């Protein structure tokens, strides 16, 4: 059973954003969700993916991407450029789900600390 319902409604801190299942990504286990209310130029998506690496480790990805306007584009800069945020989990297949979930929750809690994103973008953490 899928964790995400369709449509998937997520709040970005200022408004609800609705994503619809588009398709399974060819060659991958996972899929692509698009945001129909977003401008076509924004290419607003959520992507999920799952794979087994050559060394046997399992890898799981949840990715958010959107084309966003630059605040002060220069002469050779595009009007829009992509922002990509990934959550990737890589683990041995014999790790307990609870142990993996604990590590994910720890990282998400760290990301929730006030100022985390700004400090990360400045290279301070």
pLDDT at 24: 79
Q: Which residues of the chain have pLDDT under 50?
A: 1
pLDDT at 2: 56
pLDDT at 74: 86
How far apart (Å, rounded) are the C-alpha atoms in residues 47 and 63?
5
First to last CA, the chain: 37
| 3-state secondary structure at position 60 | strand
Domain spans of the chain, in order of start: 8-94, 95-125
State the virtual CA torsion across 47, 52, 58, 61 in degrees, nearest 10: -10
CATH superfamily to which 8-94 belongs: MS2 Viral Coat Protein (3.30.380.10)
pLDDT tens string 22-37: 887 666 778 889 999 9
Whether the ω angle into residue 82 lies within 30 degrees of 0, i.e. cis, is: no
The sign of the CA dihedral 64, 45, 17, 84 is positive
pTM: 0.85
């Amino acid at each position: 059973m899928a964790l995400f319902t369709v449509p998937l409604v997520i709040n970005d801190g200022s408004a609800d954003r609705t994503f619809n299942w588009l398709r399974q990504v060819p060659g991958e286990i996972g899929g692509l969700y698009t945001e129909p209310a977003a401008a076509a130029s924004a290419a607003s998506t959520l992507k999920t993916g799952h794979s087994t690496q050559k060394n046997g480790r399992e890898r799981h990805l949840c990715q958010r991407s959107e084309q966003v306007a630059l605040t002060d584009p220069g002469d050779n800069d595009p009007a829009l450029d992509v922002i990509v945020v990934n959550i990737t989990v890589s683990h041995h297949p014999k790790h307990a789900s609870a142990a993996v979930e604990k590590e994910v929750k720890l990282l998400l809690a760290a990301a929730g600390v006030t100022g985390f994103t700004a400090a990360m973008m400045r290279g301070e953490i």
